[in-house]
Amino acid sequence: MAGAFIINGTDYLMMKRAENRKLAPGMWGPVGGHVEPYELNDPRAACLREIYEEAGLEERDFDKLDLKYIIFRRERDEIRLHHIFIGIAKTKNYEDKTNEGKLNWIKEGELLEKTMSFTVRKALENYIEFGHKDNEIIVGTVSAVDNKPYMNWNSLDSWEGMTGE
Flag whether 14 is in a domain. yes
Cα gap 165→159, rounded to integer Å: 12
Flag whether 84 is in a domain. yes
For residue 134, give its domain range. 2-92+100-156
Q: How confident is the model at residue 4 (pLDDT cuts 50, 70, 90)?
A: very high
pLDDT, tens digit (0-9, with 9 covering 90-100), for 47-100:
999 999 999 999 999 999 999 999 999 988 899 999 999 999 999 999 999 889
Flag whether 62 is in a domain. yes
pLDDT for res 133: 82
pLDDT for res 161: 57
Judge whether residue 137 has pLDDT over 60.
yes
Flag whether 87 is in a domain. yes
What residues have CB less than 8 Å from 146, skipping those under 6 apart? none
Flag whether 11 is in a domain. yes
Q: What rounded mean pLDDT belongs to the chain?
A: 93
Report the largest interatomic distance among the alpha carbons of the chain, rounded to a whole angstrom: 52
Beta strands in the chain (DSSP E): 2-8, 11-17, 28-29, 31-33, 62-75, 78-89, 101-107, 137-145, 148-156
Q: What are residue 148's DSSP bridge partners?
A: 145
pLDDT for res 22: 79
At 152, which CATH number? 3.90.79.10
Q: Where are the alpha helices (DSSP H) in the chain?
A: 43-55, 108-111, 118-130
- The pTM is what? 0.92
Asked if 119 contacts 82 with a C-beta cutoff of 8 angstroms, the reply is yes
Percent of the chain with pLDDT over 90: 81
Judge whether residue 164 has pLDDT over 60.
no
Give the phi and the psi of residue 99 in degrees, each rounded to 5.
-105, 10
Flag whether 28 is in a domain. yes
Q: What is the mean pLDDT of residues 112-133?
A: 95
pLDDT, tens digit (0-9, with 9 covering 90-100), for 16-34:
999 988 778 899 999 999 9
Q: How many separate domains does the chain show?
A: 1
